[in-house]
Chains A and B, each alone.
Chain A
Amino acid sequence: ETGVTQTPRHLVMGMTNKKSLKCEQHLGHNAMYWYKQSAKKPLELMFVYSLEERVENNSVPSRFSPECPNSSHLFLHLHTLQPEDSALYLCASSQAHDRVSGELFFGEGSRLTVL
């Protein structure tokens, strides 16, 4: 139990579907992250929110849309995805998006399969 909870753990969707991934952290952190993890590839940072404001968007396609309503919750809205978007999507939190932001607390991820 890392203090970061992701739902759903598994998701299968067609390319025309719309779905959302949810992340909740119970650690009192003020920065939250979405990462994409594909087999045998480095973690890819998608979005960073610090104090509920997006501070980074690493050129992610618009079919991925993040939402951070408060410092404890983070969503990733998905629509018209492609098969190559199939991956493990990890949420993480940290105390602050600053010099100590390398110590991240991860959720167990949402395994997404796009058919």
Chain B
Amino acid sequence: GQNIDQPTEMTATEGAIVQINCTYQTSGFNGLFWYQQHAGEAPTFLSYNVLDGLEEKGRFSSFLSRSKGYSYLLLKELQMKDSASYLCAVLDSNYQLIWGAGTKLIIKP
């Protein structure tokens, strides 16, 4: 079966750096997505990786290793507003999105 694993919850301190990992086992691979979802709000697109390596976008970076079935989302200079759930999703060979259960990130002052 297809599977996406990510930690259920993480805690970090304001101003620090946090890395949220995602491992996947899917039928084929057409890209990996990260979404951010604040409580009570819509998920919003953060990043898309289809080639190995690091994609940087401001304070957020996303890394992909296809051979390891592994990705991480790196958040720098954490702010209180970064408290949210972060969803990892893989586009499989049928162009279906396979979702992880999400990682709830709690930022403490």
A interface size (C-beta, 8 A): 21
A41, A90, A102, A108: the one contacting B97 at CB < 8 Å is A102
B31, B42, B44: the one contacting A102 at CB < 8 Å is B31
Bound complex: CA A104 to CA B31 (Å): 13
Contacts of A101 in B (CB 8 A): 91, 95, 97
Residue among A2, A42, A101, A108 having the largest count of chain B Cβ atoms under 10 Å: A42
Residues B77-109 near A (CB distance < 8 A): 87, 89, 91, 95-102
Cβ-defined contact, A99 with B96, below 8 A: no
A102-B48, A102-B91, A103-B48 known; A42 vs B42 contact (CB < 8 Å): no
B37 closest partner in A (C-beta)? A106
A102-B33, A102-B89, A103-B33 known; A43 vs B99 contact (CB < 8 Å): yes
Contacts of A84 in B (CB 8 A): none
